[in-house]
Amino acid sequence: MSLDSQLSTLEAATGPFEVVWNPEATGGGQLSVRANGRVLWDSVPGEAFLAAAQGAPDVTESRGFFTIRDDRTTFTTSQTLDAIDLNDTSVVLSGWLDGSMRVAWRMTMQAMDGQQLQMHITVGSEVGEHPRLRLRYACLADERFFGFGEQFTHLDLKGRQLDILSQEPGIGRGVQPLTWVMNTFFGAGGDDTRSNAPVPHYVTSHCRSLCLENHALSRFDLRAAEQVNVEVWSDSVCARIFNGETPAALVEAYTKLSGTMAPLPTWMHQGAIIGMQGGTDKVRQMVEKLSAADAPIAALWLQDWVGARKTSVGSQLWWNWELDPIRYPGWDELRDELATDGVRLMSYVNPFLVDVSEREQGCQRNLFAEAQEKGYLVCHADGTPYLVQNTSFSAAMVDLTHPEGRAWLKDVLREQVLGVGVSGWMADFGEALPFDARLHDGSDAANYHNEYPEAWAQLNREVIAEAGMEGEVAFFARSGFTRSPGQCTLFWLGDQLTSWRAEDGIRSAVTGLLSSGFSGFSQNHSDIGGYTTTAIPGFPLKIPFMDHRRSRELLWRWIELNAFTAVFRTHEGNQPGRNYQIDGDAETLAHFARFARVFAALGGLRERLGQEAAEQGLPVVRHPWMVFPEDPNTVSLAWQFTLGDALMVAPVLDPGADRVTMYLPAGQWCHLWSDAEIDASAGGWYEVEAPLGTPAVFFRKGNADGEALVAALDAKQDRATVSTKPMIRAANSPR
């Protein structure tokens, strides 16, 4: 992959950025982008930084999972840089790509502002159908790569290859033999880099950052020690290079592109959001239990408000988006009764529709039939509705490129969701648009696939805005892409396994929070206790190594974890009867109520962090490196986080553990649950006793938020859980 040029040394400016061509770099000619004396991007000396090929794609969809094959031609093997032209605002480079074809290329670099430089690359039509472009550039051997949207298994993606395609992440994602079984028989096991909400964006440990603006499928190959290869399924690449000397500055720069997230409604900070099902009577019974336990409740999230159906995986919902009056009789009275105590109702929707003509209970409207008649559904090439298999039923997606169809779906949400008086909902799915679908506006479904989650979020946001309820009503989404932060009110991390595993479990929730924070997902959270239970419905015996169910201990530790995140929301899971629940026994209910009070006591801090998210794009839950960038040890941390800049949290993530090893940067640190203090004058590792009910949480001495939390917990007698100070001692790094 050679790079040839007869051009002499050149330095050209666009805004505060310098584009530098150095023909005498060691190893050969090198192109660089610099700012403030720092190299933000540079090509591999002597090697082509651009190549082209023609693809032959074979992409299949199954239940929202995608199998990607591409028998492409060989990439071009050489590149010439023939001209660098300057004008008032941009630098334009051009030349040829040679090898299996000869293709002209053109690159325009232009400063968007002081923090963003846009790199726009196009090639000639000679590349043919299904074009592929590959961008190759340098990195350092010790450079770590963070971000890429929500990543669940690996925080540092260096050494890996990942496809940036919104899809189901998988059940197991490497937990064996579960993943093998799910992949072999159902195509649903996934792998360690799949995500509902991936983003072609990263921040590196050397404070370099890049994002693609393309929606087309891209593949980031980070396996080489000193180079990055990015393949894009397009005949053009539009990228932004960001300028910032700290990770927080780079996140702020990136969110100028992605958009920032608005503060959450105040009521969401006032207590727990209880996810439950079963009808009006069960709701009242749960509220009575929680009230007796002095658990602050912000809302009841009733995903089965539309009614439930039996399927091969247990109980699922009727996707018809109207209230089931038989399951929830007296809905209006229930809503008004709860409102007197400051408790809201929330519901559930997604962009799929099912034909309810087969439902025994009659419905006022058959939304599937309406949309089909009007031509509002995603179709096959022959015009028939494209039915996507879910479990034992299929459903059709609303075509969001259809202006009338989009307006129709907004009317449904406004009239039948907001219209029943809910204060928010889960806006589920959005990842399953097949590559071979036909769309109303003629868009290529392969290119629109990653745009669909953004359009789905934007539709929900418009429903709220047009009703004049921004700041009062919120929805939470799991699918996303680059511009989703500017369109969503809240994210959640999708469906974790009810397990302790790093691949897919409580640890993956921590990784998801930290990784997504680098890509602008400022307001994010997970299901308390996880969602996916893999017990076989109707089968009474447990299958060793295959059967994952939520244990009491796992639930307790997940409760402790989520009390220090953006939202404190429970989920019964896909098989509620096989999972331990928050009212499983009196002690568990008391534990849940106590941490709901901890969460509520942090409401003022989270509201302030919500303003920072809106103004600067900073996440509520932060990787410690964002807060302590000057400490060289924080960049390598993986299993602890900060709540804003106030609290350092190291949740217990292993079964049977009663202590954690965590890192504290230099300073005086106070233990939240006792009067113990640590003088970490130079920063260091500490082993902290953390029995159930006392996760390792510290704040810096004199921090107003930490001291306010202590006062609030003392007022409720929620702080002292042990009769003596916990054991805290210096330790070695766990690695």
> In the prediction, which pLDDT does 72 show?
84
The single residue listed with the structure tokens 């233990």 is 671
Residue 487: which of 524, 462, 469, 509 has the closest Cα? 462
Per DSSP, the chain holds a count of helices (H) and strands (E) of 14, 40
Place of tokens 């036909």: 438
User: pLDDT at residue 315 above 80?
Assistant: no
Contact 21, 31 (CB under 8 A): yes
Give me the DSSP letters along 620-636.
SEE-HHHH-TT-TTGGG
Q: What are phi and psi of 574, to 5 degrees?
A: -75, -20
- In the predicted model, is pLDDT for residue 479 greater than 90? yes
Q: Exactly one of 355, 431, 454, 503 is catalytic; which is it?
A: 431
Average pLDDT score, the chain:
95
Q: What is the DSSP letter of 301?
A: E
Contacts of 638 (CB under 8 A, 6+ apart): 155, 510, 511, 514
| pLDDT for residue 545 is more than 80 | no
pLDDT of residue 368: 97
Rounded-to-integer distance, Cα 372 and Cα 389, Å: 17
Eight-class DSSP state of 328:
S
Q: Is pLDDT at 2 greater than 80 in this prediction?
A: yes
Q: Which two tokens stand for residue 107?
A: 């690159």
List, for residues 231-276, the tens digit of each pLDDT value. Answer: 999 999 999 999 999 999 999 999 999 999 999 999 999 999 999 9
Which strand (E) or helix (H) includes residue 39? strand 38-42
Torsions phi, psi for 147 (to 5 deg)? 105, -125
Question: Residue 282: which residues within 8 A CB-CB, separation 6 or more?
Answer: 276
Establish whether 431 is a catalytic residue.
yes
pLDDT (tens digit, 9 = 90+) per residue, 45-64? 999 999 999 999 999 888 88
Q: Are 217 and 164 in contact (CB under 8 A)?
A: yes
The model's pLDDT over 289-309, given as tens digits with 9 standing for 90+, comes to 999 999 999 999 999 999 998
pLDDT for the residue numbered 721: 54
pLDDT of residue 537: 61
Known catalytic membership, residue 428: yes
Q: Which residue of the set 42, 235, 322, 428 is catalytic?
A: 428
In this predicted structure, what is the pLDDT of residue 535? Answer: 79
Q: Over range 120-134, report the average pLDDT.
A: 94
Asked whether 110 and 33 are in contact (CB, 8 A), the reply is no
pLDDT at 722 over 60: no
Element (H, E) at 424: strand 424-427
How high is the pLDDT of residue 495? 96
Quick one: how far is CA 40 from the chain centroid? 26
Alpha-carbon gap, residue 17 to 241, rounded angstroms: 10
In the structure encoding, which two tokens stand for residue 537, read together?
A: 């419905």
Read off the pLDDT band of 692 (50, 70, 90). Answer: very high
The pLDDT of residue 699? 97
**653-678 mean pLDDT:** 96
Q: Give the pLDDT score at 5.
A: 81
Identify the active-site residue in 235, 304, 495, 503.
Answer: 495
Question: In this model, does residue 6 exceed pLDDT 90?
Answer: no
pTM: 0.96
pLDDT for residue 105 is more than 90: yes
Task: Write the pLDDT tens digit of every residue in 325-374.
Answer: 999 999 999 999 999 999 999 999 999 999 999 898 889 999 999 999 99
Query: Pairing mode, if any, of strands 474-477 and 490-491?
Result: parallel
Q: Can you tell me the distance from the alpha carbon of 625 to that of 388, in angstroms, rounded to the nearest whole number?
A: 42
